[in-house]
């Protein structure tokens, strides 16, 4: 896993073949403590990237190790190590750009669909610990995911499934009582 992470970090720092230098980026909110974060280096204009979009909150770049042509990343300009540490307002700002960016990426690549993906945590495959959202353009029959050939089973309606649903609702209720932010209408 460490070798994979280092290879990915290296690929972001030293993309091959060498693209022309990207336009300079505006100053960022990334803290000086994030000196080793490849995305913070890109945001500060200290590492090259193909910039597609930028605003006060986020940046969208082409992934330097794309799964498919046009694979892009939406990155917050402030450093947050994972989605669950990222403030909801920042997540909302990033997500609000998805239709706009996704449509442009689909048109530019001749795709008709896209996947939206977040690898949140080591077990989920996160290797760069700065929140980011993948936009992965897709075409029918591209066979990008091996899981697409897997047979999906219907959800079992049993005590174990009910237990998971009840536990999630209970945890959401506890969190919403603590934060007074988001309350579900489910009981």
Element spanning 167, H or E: helix 159-179
Q: Give yes or no for a contact between 131 and 70, defined as CB atoms under 8 angstroms apart.
A: no
pLDDT given for residue 59 in this prediction: 97
28: which 2 tokens? Answer: 């960022």
pLDDT given for residue 187 in this prediction: 56
pLDDT in tens, 51-96: 999 999 999 999 999 999 999 999 999 999 999 999 999 999 999 9
pLDDT given for residue 177 in this prediction: 67
Average confidence score pLDDT of the chain: 82
pLDDT given for residue 35 in this prediction: 74
167: which 2 tokens? Answer: 């536990």
53: which 2 tokens? Answer: 């979009």
Task: Name every residue whose Cβ is closer than 8 Å to that of residue 27 and which is 6 or more positions away in sequence.
Answer: 44
Strand partners, 51: 61
Strand partners, 116: 135
Element spanning 74, H or E: strand 72-76
Q: 12 pLDDT exceeds 60?
A: no
pLDDT in tens, 95-134: 999 999 999 999 999 999 999 999 999 999 999 999 999 9
Read off the pLDDT of each residue in 145-161 and give the average, rounded to a whole number: 82
Q: 168 pLDDT exceeds 80?
A: yes
Q: Which residue has the tokens 């449509």?
A: 103
pLDDT tier, 8 (very low <50, low <70, confident <90, very high otherwise) = very low
- Residue 140, classified by CB atoms within 10 Å of its CB into exposed (0-12), middle (13-18) or buried (19+), is exposed
pTM assigned to the model = 0.74
Q: 9 pLDDT exceeds 70?
A: no
Q: Can you say how many angstroms the Cα of residue 107 is from the centroid of all Cα atoms in its chain?
A: 20
Catalytic residues, by residue number, are 132
Name the phi and psi angles at 175, rounded to 5: -65, -45
């Amino acid at each position: 896993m460490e070798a994979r992470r280092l290879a990915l970090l290296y690929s972001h720092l030293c993309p091959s073949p060498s693209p022309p230098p990207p336009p300079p980026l505006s100053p960022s909110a990334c803290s000086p403590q994030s000196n080793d974060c490849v995305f913070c280096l890109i945001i500060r204009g200290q590492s090259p990237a193909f910039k597609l979009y930028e605003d006060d909150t986020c940046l969208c770049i082409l992934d330097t190790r794309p799964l498919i042509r046009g694979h892009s990343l939406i990155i917050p300009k402030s450093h947050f190590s994972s989605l669950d540490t990222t403030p909801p307002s920042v997540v909302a700002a990033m997500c609000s750009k998805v239709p706009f960016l996704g449509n442009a990426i689909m048109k530019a690549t001749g795709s008709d669909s896209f996947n939206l993906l977040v690898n949140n945590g080591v077990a989920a495959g996160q290797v760069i610990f700065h929140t980011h959202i993948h936009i992965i353009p897709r075409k029918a029959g591209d066979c990008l995911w091996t899981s697409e050939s897997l047979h999906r089973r219907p959800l079992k309606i049993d005590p174990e499934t009910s237990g998971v649903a009840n536990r999630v609702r209970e945890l959401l209720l506890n969190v919403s009582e603590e934060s007074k932010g988001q309350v579900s209408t489910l009981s």
